[in-house]
Amino acid sequence: MHYQAHAKINVFLKIVGTRGNYHELLSRFMLVPSLYDTLSFVPKKSTHPFELVGDFNCALEHNTLYRTFMVLKQHGFAKEIERVMSENALHVKKAIPTGSGLGGGSSDSATFLKMLNEVATLGLSVEEMMRIGSEVGADVPFFVSGFDSANVSGIGEVVEKFDEPALDIEVFTPPLACNTALVYKTYREYFLQSIDQALASRMAALKSLELLDNFSKEKLNDLFPACLKAYPELGTYAKEGWFFSGSGSSFFRLAHKVKNG
């Protein structure tokens, strides 16, 4: 069986405070129906406790999928998931670019968590998987939730469904990967004083179409100026009518507006 791990966009992303070295945000996450990685279990070929098959550019111990495996073990499910992974490797066919602000790693982790919950019959509820997923990555709870659209706050652990369908979104990712840690470091150093909590709260109440119709990419995403400062070449890809997702580097727009001119 194949499982789809969908990308997301940030319709808006506002920084509303800090928590130690972390930044607290208020953001609208929305799934992208047309863009997803594909995960499946395939016969295992190695003796390693966790075999991952796919095109990844980091060491296994730093991969979010391996971290998902390890966190589940720490929560008392070692026997069940080791039984599954003793016979299977996890195969990932990547379509979501790395360093693109589309949440590919987090979506893969959430999907793998659901796969293990199903195949190893762990009996975890969605809420329990969201809590476990938050230990892997800040965006994982949203992808576990199953919501098409949600307001996400805190450092990503608070996910509140927003009642609207996923929009028909076209995504463009430049040949440039943005380092999330560098983007947030740049934001804190140069832009932290521009926090506007009132505007963030107002945006959270609006539907995504209203947000895209009434605000520019600069207003919608507080990290866009930080990305431009950290990666000046990004400016050559910032076209009129396109919005900016997460910590970059992807831009998006409504596909129906393109079709309708």
Residues forming the active site: 8, 139
Residue 223 has what DSSP assignment?
H
- The whole-angstrom separation of Cα 156 and Cα 138 is 5
Is residue 251 within 8 A of residue 242, CB to CB? The reply is yes
Is residue 58 within 8 A of residue 29, CB to CB? The reply is no
Residues of 102-119 as b/e, b for ≥16 C-beta within 10 angstroms?
Answer: bbbbbbbbbbbbbbbbeb
One DSSP character per residue, 54-122 reads S--SS-GGG-HHHHHHHHHIIIIIHHHHHHHHHHEEEEEE--SPTTSSS-HHHHHHHHHHHHHHHHTT-
H helical segments located in the chain? 64-72, 78-87, 104-119, 126-133, 140-145, 180-190, 197-205, 208-214, 217-220, 223-230, 255-259
- The whole-angstrom separation of Cα 187 and Cα 227 is 8
What is the β-pairing status of strands 52-53 and 88-93? parallel
